[in-house]
Amino acid sequence: MELTTDAILRKLKDEGLKFTGKRQETVDFFVRNKDRYLSAKAVHEYVKEKFPSVSFDTIYRTLTTLLEHGIIEHMEFSDDAAKYRLKCHEEHHHHLVCLQCGATIPLNECPMDGIGDKIQNFKVMNHRFEVYGYCEHCLPA
């Protein structure tokens, strides 16, 4: 999938969804921050700059729609807050995630490749592997 606002909105329209300015602003925010996890609060604050009356419920409904249509993915962080990012790959992959700014760096290797044969008496159906730390811009001094 092409990661531009227009391409994503075209995909949603092709799947029968209506075009709205709030939806466009939400998608645009994810495209502009394609390598970061974003909180619903951050999305709400961004969209509210252009649409001051937008409700938090509208943002959550939009996030749910984008999740359902494979535009964004979500992750539960250690602070129990769900954060979202533009889906960056169709194929299986993992990330390095910055705890400060939410930046993500794709990992091209899967750790399950090294341990999958060592697992006995258990059938793995899916897994998720993220490494948390600080990117080069956020490293504590």
pLDDT digits (tens, 9 = 90+) for 79-100: 667 889 898 766 777 888 888 8
- For residue 87, give every residue at least 6 positions away whose Cβ sits within 8 Å of its Cβ, in sequence order, or none: 1, 70, 71, 72, 73
Specify the pTM: 0.73
**Which pLDDT score is estimated for 66?**
95
**Which pLDDT score is estimated for 79?**
64
CATH topology (fold) of 5-86: Arc Repressor Mutant, subunit A (1.10.10)
Mean pLDDT of 92-116: 82
Residues of the chain with CATH 1.10.10.10: 5-86
Residues of the chain with CATH 3.30.1490: 94-133
Q: Does domain 94-133 have CATH number 3.40.630?
A: no
Nearest alpha carbon to residue 82 among 133, 42, 38: 38
